[in-house]
Amino acid sequence: MTKKSLFFSIALTCFFFVTSAVLNKQISKPPIKIEKQMSAINFQDSFYRLLFAGYKRMVADLLWIATLLESDLSHYKKKDLNNWMFLRFKSITDLDPKFLHAYSFGGQYLNIIKDDVEGAAYLFDKGLSYYPNNYSLNFNGGYLYAFELAEYDRAVKLYERIRHHPSAPKFIDSLIAKLKYEETGDLKTTFNVLKEMLKNESRDTLLIEKLKKDLYSIKATIDLECLNTINDSSCSRLDYKGQPYVLRDDEFTTQEPFSPYKLYTKKKGGLKIVPHSFLIFKKLS
């Protein structure tokens, strides 16, 4: 190879290298997003028990921290107890069966954020087997069984355990009475229960924000139906955030967009969505 051709080859290589570097900076590549459900690593519980036999609580604490840091908001649609967060909470509570916060927080997170009601029921039941009189487990577990699974007998048993607890809300007796008659298609009752859950939640920001969205949705649904059908002094004219409802095209609506809440009731053959006048309730995503 002559000096001239060598120089030309080096120059051409440099040209392509610089061009590649410039294009790499200027062309935005589509982000590759892998759902946590697909990327999360979970081991069999027997693996943890055998490998860390003398350090179970320490491993449970490490798994707990890792799970909180990696937690996501994606709903889990399947009913196979294979949600990655459920599997983590299960491993944590197998390693440390007395980990109370893993039951109370885990059950709430799976129910409210992940929509994994089967996983939440498992955690609440497991927690209650160790802490049968714990207020948080009974109250939040009662909500799950009453308003998500329509298992009223189970919900009544949980609520009755705490009806005389100092933290129990004043409406708990009327709630128990309604559940005994299998009446949960009541948005006002749902609002009161969620409001009580919010009052007792002081740690997790995601749970607090989700509860506030649901409360906003329920109050707006109740108020707008009143304003658009009755429109008298009994109707509230302020939403959950204290903002006035507005009149658009001869119909009252909210200043912020919202999705109506979804209620379930029991019927032969399973659950059904309860229609409320002109609306079908759909839970906020």
Q: Are strands 275-276 and 270-273 parallel, antiparallel or unpaired?
A: unpaired
Tokens representing 144 are 């799950």
- Tell me: pLDDT of 25 over 60: no
What stretch of H or E contains 279?
strand 279-280
The string of pLDDT tens digits covering residues 135-167 is 999 999 999 999 889 899 999 999 999 999 999
- The token duo for 156 is 């009544």
Structure-model confidence comparison of residues 282 and 64, the more confident one: 64
- Mean pLDDT, the chain, as a whole number? 79
| Contact by Cβ (8 Å): 124, 130 | no
Handedness of CA 87, 204, 240, 162 (dihedral sign): positive
pLDDT over 50 (residue 174): yes
Is residue 10 very low, low, confident or very high in pLDDT (cuts 50, 70, 90)?
low
Q: Cα(95)–Cα(160) distance, rounded to whole angstroms?
A: 30
Of 7-11, 21-25, 206-210, the poorest mean pLDDT is in 21-25
Position of tokens 């990655």?
Answer: 84
CA 69/CA 113 separation, integer angstroms: 15
Alpha helices (H) along the chain: 3-26, 36-39, 45-51, 56-70, 84-95, 100-108, 117-130, 135-143, 152-161, 172-180, 187-200, 205-229
